[in-house]
Structure formats: C-alpha cells, structure tokens
Amino acid sequence: MQLKSLIAAVALGVGLAGTGLAAGTAAADSAPPAPTATPREPTPASRPTAPPSTRRPGEPSPTHPEPAPSRPPVAKPIPKMPNYTG
Amino acid sequence: MHTGALVVAALIVLSAGCGSPGDGTSGDGPPEADRPAATGPRQAGQGRGGAEIATVRGRRIAVYKRKGDGAAWKTLSSPNEMGATRVFLVDAKDGDWLKVLLPVRPNGSTGWVKASGVELSTTSHRVEIDPKAFTFTVFDGDKVLRTGKVATGEGGTPTPAGRFYFTELIQPPDPDGDYGAYAFGLSGFSPTLTTFAGGPGQLAVHGTNKASALGGKVSHGCVRVSNDDITWMAQNLAIGTPVVVRK
C-alpha cells in the first residue's frame, strides 16, 4: 500500500516537472508582444515601441561615458627657414 | 527508509524541472563580453580610435618623470622653438595624468603631464617609413591613403628607427630650395649630429629639389619625399600625427 502511494507521488512529481518545462519553453518561444488587458486601440503616445530612451538626440551613448576627443585640425604652415638636418 | 529516499528523489526531480525554464538568467551571470571593462590605467597608443594628441593649453607645461611627482622634471614652452603650438603624442592615460612621447633627446623619451594642461584630439592617420624599401605609406586606420618614394640618411648620418610624431609644419621661403615646398618637424633627433644649420639636429620629413635622389641614402638624417607628396601631407595631416620609421 505504501509502495503504491509512493509511486503515485513520484509520478505526480515528474508530471508536474514536465508540465513546468513545457510551459516555460512555450512562454520563451511565443512571448506575447503586447499586453492584452487594454482592448482599445492604443494612441500613438501609448503604442508599445522600443524601451523609452533617457538620452536626447546627439547625446553620447552610455557605453562611451567619456566624450570622444575631436579630430585635430590639418597643420597650419609657419613661414620660416628650417634648420632641420636636411 | 527506502520510501523516504524515493520521496526526496521525487522532490529533486520536481525542483530541477521548475528551476530551468531555459531563460538563461541563472548560472554564472552574463558572458564575459557583456561585462563592463575594468577601469584603471590604460594604454592609449594607436587604438581603435587612433592616436591621441595632447595640445598644450597655456604658454608652458610641466613634465614629470613619474605621475604624481611633486616637482617637475622639465618645463617646456608653447609655442615650441619653431613657433608652433606644443603637442605631444599620448602613450598612456592614468586618471588625471597622461604619459606622453617627448620631443627631446634621447629619442623615445617619455614623461607625464597633467591632463588639465592639455587639450586632447584623436587622429586615425599615421605615417610609416620603410628605409629598406625607401618608401613611405600614409594610413587612415587600416586604409592606405598615399605611398611614395623617400630618401634617407647616408652612412655617417643615418635616419634612426623609432616612433615619432610631427611637431610643426614649416613653409620654407624658397619652395625650390633644399627643403622643398614644406617641412614637417619630427620629435626625433639625429643620432650623430648634435647641431645642424644652427639647429639642434632635429629630424624632419620634407620635400626636395632633387627628386632624382629619392630612393637612396643621401640626406643628413631627414626623410625626403617629393614636393607633390609633402604638399599632399601638408594639406591632409595634422601636427601630432604619428610617424614610425622602421628598422
């Protein structure tokens, strides 16, 4: 009698585990793109798009916290007689 | 006893199944490539963004032998001896300090300057000189922009190998003279001449009025290129551009 109960418990456990795996896989494969709680047509402001950005246009990317140094200007010639080794 | 063991085994199977939904969030954390880079001293050199050039802000700059030293090792003026704003090629950065290549003897000397005393810029250009092939190549990153013939120093006055940079651009009064149309001063010096024509034996990349001598060892240490090539360099390259003379 005890053995039967035990087998039933194990079978139940394995079954639950399998169900959990299947549900997890299904959720990963077909994640719904938008919530379904609001059936009305979303306004442009509330339309689900990319995550909201905290950066303004032209602001440096957060992956580059230091501002990139500018390019140096092309050399400006100095009129002079050189004294290099020649 | 056997019953208890089986119950424990069943619970383990159950928990393992529920804890691995395949979302990749458990385990050892994000892959190495996604982790932020460690901060601290870093080599500047010719990295992804090119070479960094430090332009002196004031009329002079203190150079220290080691970063954090209390007393300056040297004080260099700006403009430099040729009248150009003083620049350095940055070798490494460490907090508020920059290790820079110095335009002093011996060739290859480095020192530290405070970052607050300079303005930084970046160039992806560099010039490589191959004395064996008597050629120069100007790169923009990995892209070749221009190549041409050079003349280098003769036996007693060789052109030394090393990593240098342009310190100034001079326009001689006579474009048909010995220095040609333009002359870029280099941060290096002749290993054999301590003075030349009243100067300190400074090396340069300059034009020439003897194009037929290009491809040979004829100079006193300078690197000569054609007037077309030096004019192109003058129109396209910045002071501070790295120049490597190969062995």
Phi, psi of A66, deg, nearest 5: -85, 135
Which pLDDT score, from 0 to 100, does residue B162 have?
A: 98
* Per-residue pLDDT, B234: 98
Rounded Cα gap, residues B243 and B152, in angstroms:
14
Q: ipTM score of the complex?
A: 0.79
pLDDT for position A43: 39
CB contact under 8 A, A86 and B220: yes
What's the angle, vertex CA B15, arms to CA B10 and CA B19, rounded to 5?
Answer: 155
Q: What is the mean pLDDT of residues B180-189?
A: 98
Q: B123-159, pLDDT tens digit by residue?
A: 999 999 999 999 999 999 999 999 999 999 999 999 9
pTM here? Answer: 0.69
**Among A16, A80, A83, the residue to mutate for chain B (most B Cβ within 10 A):** A83
Q: What is the pLDDT of residue A69?
A: 78
Q: Among B150, B168, B146, B172, which residue's Cα sits nearest to residue B159?
A: B150
Give the 3-state secondary structure of chain B: CHHHHHHHHHHHHHHHHHCCCCCCCCCCCCCHHHCCCCCCCEECCEECCEEEEEEECCCEEEEECCCCCCCCCEEEECCCCCCCCCEEEEEEEECCEEEEECCCCCCCCEEEEEHHHEEEEEECEEEEEECCCCEEEEEECCEEEEEEECEEECCCCCCCCEEEEEEEEEECCCCCCCCCCCEEEEEEECCCCCCECCECCEEEEECCCCHHHCCCEEECCCEECCHHHHHHHHHHCCCCCEEEECC
Q: What is the pLDDT of residue B49?
A: 64
Q: How far apart are CA B96 and CA B70, in angstroms?
A: 14
Whether residue B32 has pLDDT greater than 50: no
With beta carbons under 8 A apart, name residues in chain A contacting B169.
75-78
Residues of chain B with C-beta less than 8 angstroms from the C-beta of A82? 170, 172, 179, 183, 185, 197, 199, 204, 206
What number of C-beta contacts closer than 8 Å exist between A and B?
151
> What SS3 class is residue A68?
coil
Residues β-bridged to residue B110: B101
Share of chain B above pLDDT 70, in %: 80
pLDDT tens column, B4-23: 444 444 433 333 333 333 33
Strands B60-63 and B42-43: unpaired
How many distinct helices (H) and strands (E) make up chain A?
Answer: 1, 1
Output the six-digit token pair for B122. Answer: 């970046």
- Region B223-240: mean pLDDT is 98
Per-residue confidence band for B42, with pLDDT thresholds at 50, 70 and 90: low
Mean pLDDT, rounded, of chain B: 86
Q: What is the predicted pLDDT for the residue at A9?
A: 52
Q: Decide which of B182 and B34 is more confident.
A: B182
Query: For B47-92, how does the pLDDT look when each residue is reduced to its tens digit (9 = 90+)?
Result: 556 999 999 999 999 999 999 999 999 999 999 999 999 999 999 9
Evaluate whether B169 touches A76 at the Cβ level (below 8 Å): yes
Distance between CA atoms of B193 and B179, rounded to whole angstroms? 18
Task: Show residues of chain B in contact with A86, CB under 8 Å.
Answer: 178-179, 196-197, 204, 206, 219-222
The angle formed by the CA atoms of residues B98, B101 and B107, to the nearest 5 degrees, is 155
- Residue B2: pLDDT above 60? no
pLDDT at res. A41: 39
Q: Is the pLDDT of residue A75 over 50?
A: yes
Name the minimum distance, in Å, from the CA of A53 to any CA of chain B. 20
Q: Which of B8, B166, B168 to probe by mutation at the A interface, max A CB count within 10 Å?
A: B168
> Is there a contact between B152 and B158 (Cβ–Cβ < 8 Å)?
yes
Q: What is the mean pLDDT of residues B175-189?
A: 98
